[in-house]
Structure 1
Amino acid sequence: MITFDDVTVRFDSFTALPGFSLQVEEGEFFTLLGPSGCGKSTALRALAGFVDLSAGDIHVAGRKITHLPSGKREVGMVFQNYALFPGMNVRENIAFGLRVQKLSRAETDRRVNEIAERVDLSQQQLGKQVSELSGGQQQRVAIARALVLHPKVLLLDEPLSNLDAKLRRQLRGQLKQLQGQFGITTVYVTHDQDEALSMSDRIAVLDQGRIEQVGTPQEVYDRSATEFVCTFVGEVNRLSPALVGTFATAGASGLDSGATTYVRIEKVKVIRPGAAHSGIAVPATVDSHTYHGMHNVYHLRTEHDRLRAVATVHGGWQPRDGERVDLVFDPDSLLQYSGGPAVPAVQDVASAAGATR
């Protein structure tokens, strides 16, 4: 559906995208994820026609759009601040692009009413000024204004970043539901890993203009292809070579004690000393913990490392600060890196499925 073919974007002497290649499938909710300055918004704006390419091509639905003006690319864009016109009411905002296209008044009204109903905007709200609407309602107006033009692709540039945390969480689901309802190919830009993991069909993680990994949310999280992806997405513990060496001594084959090794904090289990377990147990002491409502985060000390672990608040036993515990590790959940792509952490019967860790 969307193809970036060896795209390069330069701003004077700075190269924002060096040889960027990516394929987005039709109907996907596809997210470009990465820190500020990684090139994700530049890629989106290049697709929208707001940024000129220094090299390469972009295709949408088999048509090369590299040199087309933005108005002829059949893409709709929702900006971070929504870019609604404060001097127009909601109906006028949604109808703006249709009037630019010189559609008849009757056709314009028909399409505005149709799209308003589909994004859950009432006739009363259509007559209001945008300043009278909530942040979530303004977002729906911006989406309606983009979709009323019947674009092939919808582009969303951090549309939730200006909202408070609770509303952001609420609107994630609504936005994903809308995308599924319309079935439109969507490219979403964010630096928020929770948004990316909870909303996306696939994710491309970017760093310094380069794609580190493309995959489903689960692939990116559980099988991070590079050390950058591993440390950027989610919370991890970095394990010392000495601790990794104890796992090998305990029978975990295939571990490289010289590789950089991580484990995600929720994959470290905290149990009573000597309690039954499946995995490799390491004695530890609870230094402190922080309360997060549904779970606690424990700060722990082993002979070799200081680590963090997560335990649900309503899961029964809760260790106290200063208490001795055992930490249980599943060697197959370790992520190891040796300066290149991810290497398998364990080669045993459990990893016969062939997943790269």
Structure 2
Amino acid sequence: MTALLNVDELRKSFGGVTAVDGASFDVEEGTVTGLIGPNGAGKTTTFNLISGFYEPDGGVISYRGTDTQEIMQPSSEEKNIWYGASGMTFGGIALSGAAYYGLATPMLAGATAVGAGIGAAVYAGQERYKEASEHTYTRPFRLANEGLVRTFQITRELKGMTVLENLMLAKKEQSGENLLNAWFRQGAVAKEESDLQQETYQMLEFLEIDHLANEEAGNLSGGQRKLVELGRVLMMEPDLILLDEPVAGVNPTLTQKLIKRIRDLRADGYTFLIVEHDMEVIMNLSDTVIVMSEGTKLMQGSPDEVQSDERVIDAYLGG
């Protein structure tokens, strides 16, 4: 089997407190891996490091063989913006627009050029400051675009939008996000939105919450919100899904529904890394279980091996 995720000697401290202290483990492609440990073991911090929400103090996290910090580096387009290319571009657009409406005057042209120049200087100054301070970019959205996506223990649904809208919004690279397409390719955008709506309804049916499609997400129960968040993640077509306490606060009926969906998705080739305190759920669901204690990996093995290991028993019982 191929390791989709490699964590090597990961370290993270907050002030004088070490939360993760040299943790190392792999997540194999096409498996469900459980990440467990007593309170304070470093599980949540590890999750935040893997998903790009925290910057490591040391160690390397590799996704498909590439350092996640490298994945989160700015693209060449973003660097051009920071160096002032956008300032000049916006200046050019302003000049073009002014000329179109017959408003181009020497004074307006001069003011626009000065404004663009100031914008360029500001962007360049920001970039030089970041380089001088050895700034490291932590931008989770770039990891998500590459297929490494997570959920949260406390769901982050868009409460004022419907369930259908929450899932539709998650789809990547929608033509309607482009202003020119929205103006000049309205037919194509409308067709894509119609197809997306049909795809989203199919996802809601898979999760058995299609009857909630037009309900505002803020009106749902905790378990229903967990299903919506899972659906929103799946709409991004991920390869690796990090689930943070997926059944916490969920009633038994919805818990079984969530477990069934995760098993179905694993059978379809999805890879999961799950933090969960419910030991019955994690042992029944996982192919491999990683146990953390005091910021490092205590052991890794099958559910049977983990449950019978004296070190794990001692870590949970304080022996």
User: Under a length normalisation based on structure 2, what TM-score does the superposition of the two structures give?
Assistant: 0.65
Please give the alpha-carbon distance, in whole angstroms, between the structure 1 residues aligned to 2:19 and 2:284. 27
Deviation at 1:175, TM superposition (A): 4.1
Change (3 A) 1:63 1:117: farther
Q: Which moved more, 1:97-106 or 1:19-28?
A: 97-106
RMSD over aligned CA atoms reads 2.5
1:117 CA displacement: 3.0
User: Are residues 1:125 and 2:212 paired?
Assistant: yes
Which letter maps to 1:118? Answer: F
State the identity %.
Answer: 26
Q: Distance in 1 between matches of 2:10 and 2:295?
A: 11
Measure the CA separation in 1 of the matches of 2:161 and 2:18: 39
Give the deviation of 1:135 after TM superposition: 3.5
Tell me the alpha carbon deviations over residues 300-326 of structure 1, each in whole angstroms, 9 at most, x when there is no partner: xxxxxxxxxxxxxxxxxxxxxxxxxxx
Q: Which runs of 4+ in 1 moved over 6 A?
A: none
What residue in structure 1 maps to residue 49 of structure 2? 46
Are 2:13 and 1:10 aligned?
Answer: yes
Q: Which residue number in structure 2 is paired with residue 115 of structure 1?
A: 203
Native 8 Å contact 1:89 1:129 kept in 2: yes
Residues in 1 aligned to 2:230 and 2:167: alpha-carbon distance in whole angstroms: 9
Contact 1:33/1:192, CA 8 A, preserved across alignment: no
Could you tell me how far apart the structure 2 residues matched to 1:126 and 1:168 are? 17
Match of 2:69 in 1: 66
Runs of at least 5 residues in structure 2 that lack an aligned partner in the other structure: 73-138, 177-191
- The 1-side partners of 2:215 and 2:10 are apart by 42
The Cα offsets for residues 62-106 of structure 1, whole Å up to 9 and x where unpaired, read as: 222124121111222111122111111001111222378655524
Q: Which has the higher strand share?
A: 1
The yes-or-no answer on 1:30 pairing with 2:118 is no
Structure 1 or 2: larger helix share?
2
Deviates more, 1:74-83 or 1:95-104: 95-104
Q: For the residues of structure 2 that align with 1:230 and 1:161, how far apart are their CA atoms?
A: 22
For 2:53, what is the secondary structure of its paired residue?
A: coil
Is 1:197 paired with 2:270?
A: no
How many positions carry a matched residue from both structures? 231
Q: How does 1:307-346 map to 2 (within 5 A)?
A: none
1:230 to 2:313 alignment = yes
- What SS does the corresponding residue of 2:56 show, helix, strand or coil? coil
Mapped partners of 1:213, 1:83: distance in 2: 32
Give the Cα separation in 1 of the matches to 2:169 and 2:259.
27
The equivalent position to 2:149 in structure 1, one of 65, 70, 76, is 76
Letter in 2 for 1:66: Q
Find 1:183's aligned residue among 262, 269, 275. Answer: 269
The aligned residue for residue 163 of structure 1 is 250
Deviation at 1:184, TM superposition (A): 1.0
In 1, the alpha carbon distance for the partners of 2:269 and 2:221 equals 26
CA distance in 2 between counterparts of 1:62 and 1:220 reads 28
Deviation at 1:16, TM superposition (A): 1.1
Rounded to whole Å, the distance in 1 between the matches of 2:297 and 2:56 is: 18
SS of the aligned residue for 1:66 comes to helix
Give the whole-Å Cα distance in 2 for the aligned partners of 1:14 and 1:100: 41
SS of the counterpart of 1:149?
coil
CA distance in 2, matches of 1:28, 1:83: 26
The change in CA–CA distance for 1:10 and 1:232 in structure 2 (over 3 A counts) is: closer
**2:164 corresponds to 1:91:** yes
1:231 positional shift: 3.7
CA contact (8 A) 2:172 2:236 kept: no
Query: Do the aligned residues in 1 keep the contact of 2:50 with 2:61 (CA within 8 Å)?
Result: yes
| Mapped contact 2:13–2:57 kept (Cα < 8 A) | yes
Alpha carbons 1:6, 1:21 under 8 Å: kept: yes
CA gap of 1:100–1:15, structure 2 versus 1, over 3 A, is: farther
What is the distance in 1 between the residues matched to 2:246 and 2:307? Answer: 23
TM-score, length-scaled by structure 1: 0.59
Contact 1:80 1:162 (C-alpha < 8 Å) held by counterparts: no
In 2: Cα distance, 1:55 partner to 1:101 partner:
37
Work out the CA distance in 1 between the residues paired with 2:253 and 2:44: 23
Residue aligned with 1:44, SS = helix
CA positional deviation for 1:110: 4.3
Shift of 1:119: 2.2
For residues 15 and 278 of structure 2, what CA distance do their matches in structure 1 show?
29
Distance 1:199 1:23 in 2: 18
Alpha-carbon distance in structure 2 between the residues aligned to 1:90 and 1:75: 23
Q: For the structure 1 residues 231 and 102, does the alpha-carbon distance in structure 2 shift closer, same or farther, using more than 3 Å as the test?
A: farther
Shift of 1:32: 0.6
Distance 1:150 1:2, change over 3 A: same
| Alpha-carbon spacing, 1:181–1:117, altered in 2? closer, same or farther (3 Å) | farther
Does the 8 A contact of 1:16 with 1:42 survive in 2?
A: yes
Determine helix, strand or coil for the equivalent of 1:154.
strand
